[in-house]
Structure 1
């Protein structure tokens, strides 16, 4: 006999979607969230962050994102939306519960949270965020750089960098957005191994997500085939490519060496730099599954489309490229959650839940 039907680790967008899907399956879930409230990492993102998907495509199952369906929500709007969603979900959410280990015995999982009584369940969903552990690439000489090094997860706004010489390393949406913002206050170079690719955010007058949904790409379960593909294009509302063309920021190939506070570029020129900002992405924080033996040597989960390949009853929600192009997004976690819960629970009878009250 176990304490709960399913234990969900993480109370951000993935965990909330998992709880909704669990209740659809007739399960009574409990969410264990390490933070003070179930809003994921959103409050810690930089101040100007704006979604690249309109509100129409940014909601979780059962609750439409508020406001004009065509507007692009700001970070704080997402935080407020998740608070509202969690408050209306009708699911037990235990905040300040940091899970540090999961074990399994006789077909049941035991989840251990620091300073709390251990809980048991036949199913565990790891939804602690695909963007909770900053990834810092092993750039030659970075450890000896005498200037300031920070990750985009630590960046908030451009004020502290006014007048500085800054290099932003990366080629994705956040790298371009941060570099463009900083370029109004500092001398900024966007450094990457290959030129940034841009895609119009609103081709033919419609947001790119409209077309992705219309042609079925958004729903295709081919994430496992695309996760090692080259970097996808940056969504450009019309200002990013133009800014780089004007040299604010300028774009260069990755520097080759670092000596003190000086970097050397591929053409041999050397330049003093104040700050290197790594907009190089994140990795999931799943260290609590290490003792279970569910992770590969690099810390990534051994899974297929969100289902553990090592432990029956263990599932994942919110991993990048988990099943589709949209797996790690607000619009995609709901579909993945329903898929994972259905696969885990088999033929268990479901319960209709059209909307959150």
Structure 2
């Protein structure tokens, strides 16, 4: 049996909920299909100590300010999960859970969505599946011979899992800095932090509020044909959240250049030095989750789908939301996704009415 709806939103995390909010306000008939069993998107799977970069009021989806978390300037992940669950309920968003989408295909004037709980035939699709379920692991020599534990950011939870161990954290971004700091501050973990270039910390007074403004200003400059400001990357790579500042200022973050290879018992560098390791944590980023769009044959050589704003150039009935700056400035953030969700919803409303 084929289900009927004007629009399907694929993904029930922050981007999918923001899209649902605007579609509801515009009177568009839609359903949100989410592969997870509970609300909260990727936030329900992060490490225990993760906190937002911004205060609650600057980390909100459209229509509903995130309430402050008592005792916390920067809310933790559990607070975000509770906020997203409340948001979904408050706006009565039609989320169907346990609905993993396998394929989106062209079907004449419609798009056909095949999920494990059924099939939908729709006029438009918003893909908002994010990146969390597609971690990236670099091809580093020796990965297959290392005898210790290897895990990605998605598998890290707490320092206690590595008590008394030697751990190499790989990656010079926010995740690498925060996990290295989390382990170092525990006091009973020997941490080596390996990065491809020296870590670039943003000024200590920079948080998500300023980053959103910088990303928006860059997009505006590009849209108006002015000089590229460089955006957030011109300021640095790492937001100096309190635990990172504490570990950095205490001299607990031992930084080394990227090793040349892993060995059975650790890592070796080009200068001949070696560090023993019981575990390697790869904080090496993610790739967009787009396998369900493969039948549309839209992906370029770098794996991205060419878009104008959020609309796919090769399929105007498809919008991509929340994957990063290529689908809107700061669109992978709570505060940033609202604007691009609004624009996508308006274009879809005009398409289906």
TM-score, structure 2 as length reference: 0.88
**Aligned pair 1:189/2:192, yes or no?**
yes
Aligned pair count reads 345
Q: Secondary structure at the match of 1:236?
A: coil
8 Å Cα contact 1:152-1:277 kept in structure 2: yes
- Alignment partner of 2:202: what SS? strand
CA distance in 2, matches of 1:188, 1:43: 26
1:81 maps to which of 55, 80, 83:
83
Distance 1:102 1:324, change over 3 A: closer
User: C-alpha distance in 2, partners of 1:196/1:320?
Assistant: 22
Q: 1:227: Cα distance to partner?
A: 9.3
Bigger mean CA deviation after superposition, 250-259 or 297-306 = 297-306
Query: Residue 41 of structure 1: CA displacement?
Result: 1.0
2:309 aligned with 1:305: yes
SS class of match (1:290): helix
Asked if residue 94 in structure 1 is aligned to residue 102 in structure 2, the reply is no
Q: Going by fraction, where is helix more abundant, 1 or 2?
A: 2
CA RMSD, aligned part only? Answer: 2.9
Q: What's the CA shift string for 1:59-114, capped at 9, x where partnerless?
A: 10011100269821110000000000011122211111111011112121111111
1:211-247 deviations in Å (ceiling 9; x for gaps):
8539963874859996996894211145535633644
Q: 1:99 to 1:312 in 2, by over 3 A?
A: same
SS of the residue corresponding to residue 140 of structure 1 reads coil
- SS of match in other structure, 1:118: strand
User: Which residues in structure 2 correspond to 1:118-267 (within 5 Å)?
Assistant: 118-183=119-184, 184-202=187-205, 207=207, 209-210=209-210, 213=213, 217=217, 220=220, 232-237=236-241, 240-241=244-245, 243-244=247-248, 246-267=250-271
Q: Check conservation: 1:220, 1:324, Cα contact below 8 A.
A: no
Q: Which one is further off, 340-349 or 260-269?
A: 340-349
1:230-283 Cα distance to aligned partner (Å, 9 max, x none): 894211145535633644220010001222123112321122211110011112
Higher deviation after alignment, 239-248 or 89-98 = 239-248
Q: Could you tell me which runs of 5 or more consecutive residues in structure 2 were left unpaired when the two chains were aligned.
A: none
Equivalent-residue separation in structure 2 for 1:176 and 1:246 (angstroms): 14
